[in-house]
Structure 1
C-alpha cells in the first residue's frame, strides 16, 4: 500500500494541477492524502469538490512543510501503508514516475528512501535534481545535475546519493519506527537532508532512481 502525501497552504491551484497529474498514474495503486495547513482561502472546499476520493486532513494551524508532512507520515503509519511518498504540491508528475521508485526499494532491502529525476517546470528537459550531495568540508549541499540538459547521463540503475529532495521522496513507512519523522526545528528547508542522514546512520541507503 502506498500513500502519496501533499501539504497545501493557500495553494489550491498548484495542488489541483498536481492531483490532475497523479490521475494519469496507472500503477502501482496508491491513495492520496492532502494535509491542509490552515489555508485562509477556499483550498479545502476546492480540493474536496474536484477530487472527492482524496482524503483531506486539516491541521488547524500552519505547521510548515515539516510539521504538515509529519502529520501525514503519522497518518501513513497508523493506517498501515508500506510506503509513503512526500510530494510537493507545486509539482506535476509523469504517468510512469512511481513504479521505478517502488521497484528500487523492493529490490534493495537496505534502501530506506528513493527519489526520481526532477526537472524545472518551465524547462522540462533541464534537470533540477538527480539526487543530492553534501560537501562536508564546506558544510554545503547541492543538487546533482542542477541546470544540466537531460541527455541521458542520469539513466541507468539506481545509485546511492547523500540525500533526495523532499520535493519527491518515497520512503518505507517502517523507517519511522527506527529514525522518527522530519525534525520540526527546520520548519522548511534542509529537513529532508537531515532525515536522509538519520536513515544512513541507521544503516540504510538513499537511492536516486
Structure 2
C-alpha cells in the first residue's frame, strides 16, 4: 500500500491522535504512510514533537479551518508524495491495519468503486452498529440517517457491500485520487459536518463512481455528547445543502425553529441561539 495516505486530523485531541498513530505503527504500518494535521490547536507543539519522534508526516496549520480544510492540507501534501489512495480517520476511531488493507483491496478490485468505508460500531459495545453508511432525505431538508443505527450486528441481515447509501461516514473514509481530479476537494465553507455528505452527493451526481460500505469489516468510534456548537453547524449546513441541491427548505426551517423554541422555554439560551444563528446563516449567507 505504498500509494496510500492515512490522514488523521487533530484538534485538541492529542491523546486520541497519538493512541491511533501508535496502534497503526505497532501493526507495522509504514511511518511515511501516516499524515497528522493539527488544526491550530493547543496541542500543536506536542503534535510536532510527536511527529518528529515517530518519523511520520505532520502538518501544523496556521488556522483552524475545519474538517475539510485540515484534511485537504494533508491530501495536497500526499499528492506531492505520489499517493493515490486516501484514508481519512477521526482521532477517536479504532481500526486494525487488516481493515485498512481490506478497504484498499476493495478499491483495487472494484474498478467502479470510488469511496468505501467499513461498518462502524461502538468502542464500548462492539456488537452495536453506529453506521452501515448514510442516507440523506432532501424532502426532509437533507436530514441524515445512519443505516442500521444502534442495531445489534448479530441480528442484522445485510449484504457484504451496502451500495444503497448517499454518503460514507467521514470518520473512516477511503477514496481514490481520480475523484479529486473530476470534482475537486470537499467544500471548506462547511467547516464542520456535512462536508463528506456534500462531497459524496457530488460524486453520485457528477461522476460514474459508486459508494459502498463493506459490512464484513468494522472500525469503532466513541459516542460524544452534542451541544450548541454541533447544532449550529448541523442547522446551517442543512440549509446550505437544500440551497445547493434543491432540498425542502421549509421543512428544515420549521423543524429547527421548533427546536429553538423548545430550548428557549427550558432556559437553554445558548442552544436556542445556536439554532437561530444556524437558521439565519443557512438562509442568508453566501455559498
TM-score between both structures, scaled by the size of structure 1:
0.90
- In structure 2, stretches of 5+ residues that fail to align are 215-287
Question: 1:28: how far off?
Answer: 9.3
Paired with 2:47 and 2:36, the residues of 1 have a C-alpha distance of: 9
Aligned residue among 50, 54, 58 for 1:47: 50
Choose between structure 1 and 2: higher helix proportion: 2
Q: After superposition, where does 1:136-151 map in structure 2 within 5 Å?
A: 136-138=138-140, 139-151=142-154
Paired with 1:34 and 1:157, the residues of 2 have a C-alpha distance of: 31
**Where does residue 6 of structure 1 map in the other structure?**
8
Aligned length: 208
- In structure 1, stretches of 5+ residues that fail to align are none
Deviations 1:105-127 (A, max 9, x none): 12222211101011112222211
Contact 2:115 2:173 in 1 (8 A): yes
Higher RCO (C-alpha 8 Å, min separation 6): 1
**Where does residue 153 of structure 1 map in the other structure?**
156
Paired with 2:28 and 2:35, the residues of 1 have a C-alpha distance of: 17
Paired with 1:204 and 1:106, the residues of 2 have a C-alpha distance of: 13
* Bigger Rg, which one: 2
**Where does residue 162 of structure 1 map in the other structure?**
166
Contact 1:73 1:173 in 2 (8 A): no
Paired with 1:159 and 1:100, the residues of 2 have a C-alpha distance of: 15
Q: After superposition, where does 1:84-123 map in structure 2 within 5 Å?
A: 84-123=86-125
Contact 2:27 2:97 in 1 (8 A): yes
Q: Point out the more displaced range, 145-154 or 60-69.
A: 145-154
C-alpha RMSD of matched pairs (Å): 2.1
Paired with 2:150 and 2:50, the residues of 1 have a C-alpha distance of: 33
Query: Runs (4+) of structure 1 moved beyond 6 Å?
Result: 27-30
User: 1:180 aligned to 2:219?
Assistant: no
